[in-house]
A and B are shown apart, each in its own frame.
Chain A
Amino acid sequence: MTRMRPWLEEGDAPPEVAELLRSARRSRPLDAAARARSARRLSALSALPAAAGVLLWAPHAALGAALGAIVTTAVVAPRILQAPAPAVPERASSAPSSRSGREQGRPPALPAPMESASEPVAQAAPPSSAVGRLPVVREPGEHDLSREARSLEHARELLARSPAEALSLLTRHAREFPDGTLAVERELLTVDALLRLGRRSEAEARGRALQGRAPGSLYERRLEKMLGGAK
């Protein structure tokens, strides 16, 4: 096999092609500031479970449950909360998880956080507003998950210094992502925000409802701790 050389070196590129290739700039590296930003966003994301519904199965394994119990829980869990499927095709070049998520049934959306005072909530502009008249087919893919996670990250950062603002953000999040992948995380943050605002009865109601949907999960223990500490 004759070794290929870059087209410009071979000298037989058409003139217009050569002109364009000469104007090209090499891919630039990730600079230190962008790397740091990316690492920070990643560390915030990593604090969230990889997939809400799937991790509901983890405690059952920790208890050394039989494989049958894991299967049972795995069958039950998707009916409780949205669970992007970990059951991905074997090859690494598999379809994105959004497609496998859509193949499963989608459970009812969790309710939006209750507000003590109503406020107008601006709907997030869909991407189509950025493209003028072209219709945009939005797939619930990785782009949405990124936005969903970023929004939750922001809400969590606000919890300590401004739980009211965090709660408002969570309300908007629920409207924008009614069937979001991170609905459980949102609900947890909502319970936390309500507790911080002294709205204990609401927090307890939401917390118990979440526990009822996901008995024996990692979130159950976390909720017990949160609600127990509020008394």
Chain B
Amino acid sequence: MARVARIHRFVASVFTAGRTAGEAPSTTVAEIHDAHADFVFRTLQRLGIPASDLEDVLQEVFLVVHRRLHTFDGSSRLSTWLYGICLRVAAAHRRRAYFRRERATSTFDDTIADEPGSDPESLALREEARSRLERALDTLSLEKRAVFVMFEIDGLSTNQIAEIIGTPVGTVYSRLSVARADFARAVERQAKRDGQRRRR
């Protein structure tokens, strides 16, 4: 019975051009892209997608949106629904073995050269620090990573983060606390490993 109901809902959605309950009458994938592509793009960065893969993974997310829009019933914010899709797509990306290999070569894009203090030595030091930052962030679960980056790096408030991820603010606080502890441990382990390598 539930499957029949889902089929019925889906078929109805085909003839309502992507209209979903709780949304504006004609919300299409193109309209969602117009309104939320930037949010999705930033979210994927917060989830650790390398710069070289961002546009491809952005399209993957909107592919899922294209295929699954009929399942969105408006019971959550659209941005929360999109965030959930980003999480799953990023998780699949992370599972693929080559992601870790590509990390070393594609973390940074060419905009790094436009930053202040762009002499070669400053750039090298900054790049090295960012590489260590990314390695430490990669040890966090995606949910913790996203919250940590949104708060500590992108400067979003806990209320904004709670709205995005669709949880109470208290959950944001607790996730942040755990993320900080995990991040600090990862940085400490990294420093020890790097120190051991230098002594060899």
Q: Which residues from chain A sit less than 8 Å from chain B, CB to CB?
A: 1, 3-4, 6-8, 13-14, 16-17, 19-30, 34-35, 37-39, 41-43, 45-46, 50-51, 54-55, 57-58, 60-62, 67, 70-71, 74, 84, 86-88, 92-97, 127-128, 130-132, 134-139, 141-143, 145-146, 149-150
Contacts and interface: CB of A to CB of B under 8 A. Distances in A.
Interface of B: 3-4, 6-8, 10-12, 14-15, 28-30, 33-34, 37-38, 41-42, 45-46, 55-56, 58-64, 66-72, 75-76, 80-81, 84, 87-89, 92-93, 95-98, 100-102, 111, 115, 126, 129-130, 132-133, 136, 149, 151-155, 158, 169-170, 173, 176, 180, 183-184, 187-188, 191
B96 A138 contact: yes
Contact of A27 (B10, B42, B97, B173): B42
Most buried by A among B76, B92, B96: B96
A207 B63 CA distance: 27
A152 to B, nearest CB: 12
B101 A132 contact: yes
Given A14-B188, A25-B130, A146-B63, A134 B97 contact: yes
Contacts, number: 202
Contact of B66 (A16, A45, A94): A45
B191 A16 contact: yes
B7 A86 contact: yes
Contacts of B10: 54, 57, 86
Contacts of B129: 19-20, 22-23
Contact of A4 (B6, B95, B97, B173): B173
A34 B55 contact: yes
A198 to B, nearest CB: 34
B96 A6 contact: no
A143 B67 CA distance: 14
Going nearest first, the 9 A-B pairs with the smallest beta carbon separation are A23-B129, A131-B98, A30-B41, A61-B11, A27-B42, A86-B10, A20-B133, A27-B45, A134-B97
A131 B95 contact: no
A135 B97 contact: yes
Nearest to B67: A50
Contacts of A54: 10
A115 to B, nearest CB: 29
Contacts of B72: 92
A102 to B, nearest CB: 13
B67 A97 contact: yes
A7 B152 contact: yes
Contacts of B41: 27, 29-30, 34
A131 B101 CA distance: 6
A6 B68 contact: no
Contact of B158 (A4, A34, A130, A149): A4
Contacts of B81: 92
Contacts of B75: 92
Given A20-B132, A61-B11, A142 B97 contact: no
Most buried by B among A20, A134, A138: A20
A60 B7 CA distance: 12
A97 B42 CA distance: 23
B92 A143 contact: yes
B80 to A, nearest CB: 7
A143 B55 contact: no
Contacts of A95: 88
Contact of B30 (A14, A37, A42, A71): A42
A141 B37 contact: no
A25 B149 CA distance: 10
Contacts of B4: 67, 70-71
Most buried by A among B28, B56, B153: B153
A38 B42 contact: no
